[in-house]
Structure 1
């Protein structure tokens, strides 16, 4: 799952990114609305954590443009104002959720995950199961035939994407786009290495099949 944090307070942005990465998300950071729009035009983000009071291009205008373009990216708007009228205005602009500062970080993570589930068509349940494999996307746990798989955050993200594909082939490019951040080098073989480790933890019989020249399928 890929998240863009648009926050002009650099210390807060760094804290947000660190916490979201620990929760298993691939996170990029921008500090103004203009850069946010540039990134959103380049990459397919699942969720945008958007500070309302951004320089260059105001957060309200970022939300308007994103919604006007028909983007599937969900918007969680952050603001220092907790007034009801501000929340209403933010939601009317097209934000999918609204959170006042200061906030409890576990609540932020929970809201981001909920927006990601809602962004899928049809909406995804929090529990994904197939062939003895049970993945809880809220608690971030994966079990196969009663055995805890002890996946790394990246392995969990890749497995979740494969499960969500529901039998469709997922290319290495799509996995890199959705599970890694903008700094990932597409030529490092990161997807191949991660897939090898994931297969080892899933055990036998094998669940992930390589479709030569196309990608991977669960």
Structure 2
């Protein structure tokens, strides 16, 4: 593994570096929070060993900034603060594990091995974007070029299907099945009616049509 060790105590940093290097890992060491943040953002590491009490930016601040920026590298926090509230604070802010000083190198190695065996976190898609249309899947809200578009639940579902299937014609049968859960054509114009309403709401105040009608086939969302 390639591991970043951030500790301002030179003896501790060297102790960890030598031990992990002997175990076959590639180890980089830094002594300040600013250096730790820079290295973690600029380079790819398999794990980070982060002292909580770093000069400049403390370890907890570095951890928060990494997580806020989308960095999911496993982090073990090192600290002389052994209180339960301190450990809870570290874990709640994105630490994968917490180790209180003094510690045995064998325990640090074991904890590193454990967090590296954990399955990777799968990022759940929460925002759909096609052109200037954006849908928040959690809030079920829609914006076009920053303008809020008020849609009914079925209209949101229809738009979601169109946005998830960019460059693909969505037929009437497909929309009936996915939006209304019909596995047959009930011979209604329900799709056409809802598409018309959806199109009108999306297009209000805009020059170009957000939805393309493919005559005799179905509908597509307009792409740039």
Normalised to the residue count of structure 1, the TM-score between the two structures is: 0.54
Q: Name 1:62's counterpart in structure 2.
A: 62
Is the counterpart of residue 15 in structure 1 residue 12 in structure 2? no
Q: Name 1:27's counterpart in structure 2.
A: 27
Secondary structure at 2:34's aligned position in 1?
helix
Q: Which runs of 5+ in 1 are unaligned?
A: 123-218
Q: Distance in 2 between matches of 1:107 and 1:88?
A: 20
Q: Distance in 2 between matches of 1:36 and 1:63?
A: 10
Cα deviation for residue 106 of structure 1 reads: 0.6
Cα deviation for residue 113 of structure 1 reads: 1.4
> 1:93-147 CA distances to partner (integer Å, 9 max, x unpaired)?
111100000112111001011122226468xxxxxxxxxxxxxxxxxxxxxxxxx
Secondary structure at 1:29's aligned position in 2?
strand
Q: Name 1:81's counterpart in structure 2.
A: 81
Q: Distance in 1 between matches of 2:61 and 2:120?
A: 25
Q: Distance in 1 between matches of 2:2 and 2:114?
A: 13
Q: Distance in 2 between matches of 1:23 and 1:87?
A: 27
Normalised to the residue count of structure 2, the TM-score between the two structures is: 0.52
Q: Distance in 1 between matches of 2:102 and 2:28?
A: 21
Q: Name 2:198's counterpart in structure 1.
A: none
Cα deviation for residue 71 of structure 1 reads: 1.1
Q: CA RMSD in A?
A: 1.4
Q: Name 1:6's counterpart in structure 2.
A: 6
Q: Distance in 2 between matches of 1:92 and 1:72?
A: 14
Secondary structure at 2:29's aligned position in 1?
strand
Q: Distance in 1 between matches of 2:66 and 2:119?
A: 14
Q: Name 1:52's counterpart in structure 2.
A: 52
Q: Looking at both structures, which has the greater relative contact order when contacts are Cα pairs under 8 Å and sequence separation is at least 6? A: 1
Q: Distance in 2 between matches of 1:53 and 1:119?
A: 29
Q: Distance in 1 between matches of 2:55 and 2:22?
A: 28
Q: Which runs of 5+ in 2 are unaligned?
A: 123-224
> 1:7-26 CA distances to partner (integer Å, 9 max, x unpaired)?
00011101100001111111
Secondary structure at 1:76's aligned position in 2?
strand
Bigger radius of gyration among the two: 2
Q: Distance in 1 between matches of 2:119 and 2:34?
A: 24
Give the ranges of 4+ consecutive aligned residues of structure 1 lying more than 3 Å apart after TM superposition: 119-122
Q: Distance in 1 between matches of 2:67 and 2:25?
A: 23
Secondary structure at 1:94's aligned position in 2?
coil
Residue 2 of structure 1 contacts residue 45 of structure 1 at CA under 8 Å; is this kept in 2?
A: yes
Number of residue equivalences: 122
